[in-house]
């Protein structure tokens, strides 16, 4: 069970679908939106790393919106390409890394030991969450369950940045990264346990 209910994600996708159809009519491609969204996210992460949560939040929100629109845009175009799926997945991983690295950088420069190590934990666990799912799919087994899949982590991260920007309380962001690192780790454990049970059952 995810922290972000499936219906919330479905509602978000349905909301941006008209925008995606309009962009498709204008000749904008899903791959273009994927790349632009990634670049905007990296810019937001860079601002965050420099201690500017307000501007960072705006750019990260735009980058997240682009990450939602590109899938709908691909559907509006009649379905995405294999390269498009590869590009989207690869840049998603790099976007996740940018967010975690921003936290690590802040932890190193503050200095704030808890933020630094929590950022590293989030970096590693986030990659493992995605890797386990991809490896499971290559074995014809699904592994998309868990408390904190990517969508949930992004929403929580944005929430932490937004509260920091509005309140000026840095420790709110620190607490967010700590929680995200722990939730991502729990999700890794959940997916490993699920696959251990299901793949062993199939072998037997």
* Catalytically active residues, by annotation: 92
User: DSSP secondary-structure letter at 79?
Assistant: S
Do 19 and 33 touch, CB atoms closer than 8 A? no
d(CA 27, CA 21): 10
Tokens 């009519």 correspond to what residue?
Answer: 25
Q: Which residues 6+ apart lie within 8 Å of 141 measured at CB?
A: 195, 198, 199, 202
Do 65 and 73 touch, CB atoms closer than 8 A? no
End-to-end Cα separation, the chain, in angstroms? 27
Q: Which residues 6+ apart lie within 8 Å of 94 measured at CB?
A: 38, 42
- The first and second tokens of residue 38, run together, are 């990634």
């Amino acid at each position: 069970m995810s922290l972000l209910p499936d219906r919330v994600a479905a509602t978000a996708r349905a909301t941006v679908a008209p925008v995606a159809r309009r962009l498709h009519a204008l000749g904008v491609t899903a791959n273009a939106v994927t790349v632009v969204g990634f670049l905007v996210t990296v810019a937001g992460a860079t601002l965050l790393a420099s201690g500017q949560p307000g501007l960072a939040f705006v750019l990260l929100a735009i980058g997240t919106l682009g990450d939602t629109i590109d899938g709908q845009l691909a559907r509006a175009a009649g379905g995405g390409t294999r390269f498009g799926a590869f590009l989207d997945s690869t840049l998603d991983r790099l976007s996740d890394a940018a967010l975690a690295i921003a936290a690590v950088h802040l932890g190193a420069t503050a200095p704030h030991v808890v933020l630094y190590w929590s950022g590293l934990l989030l970096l590693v666990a986030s990659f493992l969450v995605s890797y386990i799912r991809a490896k499971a799919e290559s074995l014809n087994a699904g592994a998309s369950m868990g408390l904190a899949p990517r969508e949930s982590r992004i929403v929580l991260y944005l929430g932490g940045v937004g509260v920091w920007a509005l309140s000026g309380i840095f420790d709110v962001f620190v607490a967010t990264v700590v929680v995200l690192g722990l939730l991502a780790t729990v999700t890794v454990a959940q997916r490993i346990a699920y696959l251990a049970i299901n793949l062993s059952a199939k072998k037997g």
